[in-house]
Chains A and B, each alone.
Chain A
């Protein structure tokens, strides 16, 4: 019987991790559909930024309550995972509390896991309350209807259940140890210290050992299967940030937020235009005749760079960007969070086509218009509030700018007044129709 349980456990473990690995490979493949961008410079500075913002949660705590709750859940998640290690070893080898040889330190560990589990449970319940009872505005925006709202709640329910299972498992185990049940008891005395689950003992006390074993086993199995399920739920949810926040911050922009990249393709064209020796009628150089002219800006996910696509997978839809956005605050359609959600949704759609057909085949859709509306793009003031607000270094502004570039340079589709301002700049060097020769008149005016 024991050996069957062990075999089943190994099968579940391999299947869970294998499926997860497949999903990770898909994410990497999809991100690579984007353009390459070199963000391997300054590794020291990048690492320090990752340590500060991703590991150190420095931006999370700018909103103190949400930040504090998040740190509890984050620490709980990392530390309680040490327990998962023991569960896996026990599961494979049929042992019971294999790490208990650590003695006093083991008791400290289990006690810490229990306290954290309770804190996580409280934290997650408060998170749920903020979403569903207090109805914080950023969780009820237009783009949060349906799946995004349910997804967020499923994750919270899941974490609640996992914590309750963990504590139930410990309580039953503790009672079994007290009862001196075979396999659960050690000659060295009680293994583990149970500062939280001891309060569940009154429920366990009257039960016989076989019932307790069933409770312990069910909780144990449900806990580890739940974790494996959750691991695989990540890819289908908004919750990948628990893994991707780290690379995402590492590859985020180090230059001043106000600095927007200068397009290389445009640089070449402008150099040619400014070069008095360039021959405007010259035939393209040998071998370049068939090259497709570079597309300016972005109308679909392929035109974005790989960091922008990583951004999309990393976004956990917290909405801090949107709540800081001046356009959104004043009722415009733009929501930086929606820009990220749309980018990911479109990338997933493209990924599905690749899954089915082996490569992308035009499906008649694109990121622009089918997902992101022009009205959203033109409402942006490029103020960087969204970039500053993101706790994990996502840059929605760069996507907005790249899509504006497509609209203006590929489609000449700027709003009329902007087109006029640009014509003015072109003709007289100022966005207003004043003559450049009048530029110093102010010095004469009294």
Chain B
């Protein structure tokens, strides 16, 4: 890929008097974190491939307020929410897709009572819908037969009861899907939620991400699939901590689908 991606903004759509099918909420990690940016780009490629008419807010997007709320700063959260809702409602957004379960949970569950009502989908749910509609082809490319385990993000799984969309996509890739002992409802957190991503952990005898990485390594995967930029970072760090980065990769479900076909 030599060319820059075509990523239209809502402002551009507005100027042309058009409305996209869906708003892609990129999120802070997806915008700024080097690892997460790759996920963002992979997802954009898939959107292009499926012919989805989408736009992003670009510089008009701001943190949903999730880490602030979960750290106890309800003021900051509601300020962020109010600002974002003003922008989203200004553009008359109806449908939002995001590759971050934290943004997903906040936009879907916590914005409505503050005046922001949208249909919000996690990118794995959206990709699965595209697949069902026949707009996106997901089939075994280079990951066919590879042993992959999926790490459930807390804010997609337990928080919103979505366990199957990412797994359905992985099955379509004809991978050998193996489950960790602690999965789905019982999945162990990667250690990043509740604002932990931005602080040092409290004193203990181990880091949560190492514990989770060990659980993943128990099933000997070639790839640990994730559906959250923060989980991705935590698991990647865990794999490095275990000096397994040469044999085990951590990849987002969107990256797996995009890379399967060398998009």
Contact = CB atoms under 8 A, between A and B. Distances in A.
Interface of A: 255-260, 262-263, 266-267, 269-271, 273-274, 296-297, 324, 326-327, 329-334, 375, 378-385, 387-388, 401, 403-409, 414-415, 417-418, 420-422, 425-426, 429-432, 434, 436-446
A412 to B, nearest CB: 10
B80 interface: yes
Interface string B67-88: 1111111111011101000000
Contacts of B30: 442
23 contacts: A259-B110, A260-B70, A266-B75, A270-B75, A270-B78, A270-B82, A330-B191, A375-B202, A375-B203, A381-B191, A382-B154, A385-B154, A407-B72, A415-B199, A422-B67, A430-B28, A430-B62, A431-B67, A431-B198, A432-B32, A438-B59, A439-B32, A439-B58
A436 B197 CA distance: 20
A410 to B, nearest CB: 10
Interface residues of B, number: 75
A98 B7 CA distance: 83
B73 A262 contact: no
Contact of A442 (B2, B37, B200, B205): B37
A429 B63 contact: yes
B238 interface: no
B68 A262 contact: no
B204 interface: yes
B4 A262 contact: no
Interface in B133-180: 154-155, 158-161
Contact of B73 (A274, A420, A422): A422
A421 B185 CA distance: 30
Contacts of A405: 72-74
B40 interface: yes
Contacts of B204: 327, 330-332, 379
B63 A381 contact: no
A446 B1 contact: yes
A381 B208 contact: yes
Nearest to A415: B199
Contacts of B9: 440
Interface centre among B41, B109, B159 (most CB of A within 10 A): B159
A333 B189 contact: no
B160 A421 contact: no
Nearest to A440: B58
The 3 closest A-B pairs by CB, nearest first: A258-B159, A404-B72, A382-B194
A442 B1 CA distance: 14
A350 to B, nearest CB: 23
Contacts of B195: 382, 418, 421
Contact of A439 (B61, B72, B186, B196): B61
Contact of B158 (A378, A385, A438): A385
A404 B197 CA distance: 16
B161 A256 contact: yes
A422 B110 CA distance: 19
A324 B187 CA distance: 9
A262 B1 contact: no
Given A330-B206, A380-B194, A418-B198, A409 B75 contact: yes
Nearest to B3: A446
Contacts of A255: 109
A404 B194 CA distance: 11
B206 A388 contact: no
Contacts of B205: 330-331
A429 B191 CA distance: 23
Given A296-B74, A443-B4, A425 B160 contact: no
Contact of B56 (A263, A270, A440): A440
Nearest to B158: A384
B15 interface: no
Nearest to B6: A443
A381 B193 contact: yes
B207 interface: yes
Contact of B202 (A257, A379, A438, A446): A379
Contact of B37 (A271, A408, A445): A445
Contacts of A439: 26, 31-32, 58-59, 61
B70 A327 contact: no
B211 interface: yes
Contacts of A446: 1-4
B49 to A, nearest CB: 17
B45 to A, nearest CB: 12
Given A384-B159, A440-B31, 14 more contacts: A270-B75, A297-B72, A330-B191, A331-B206, A379-B201, A381-B208, A388-B158, A401-B70, A408-B73, A421-B199, A439-B32, A439-B61, A442-B26, A443-B5
Contacts of A444: 4
A381 B194 contact: yes
A409 B72 contact: yes
B201 to A, nearest CB: 7
Nearest to B104: A258
B198 A417 contact: yes
A437 B68 CA distance: 21
B213 to A, nearest CB: 12
Nearest to B154: A383
A381 B154 contact: yes
A430 B63 contact: yes
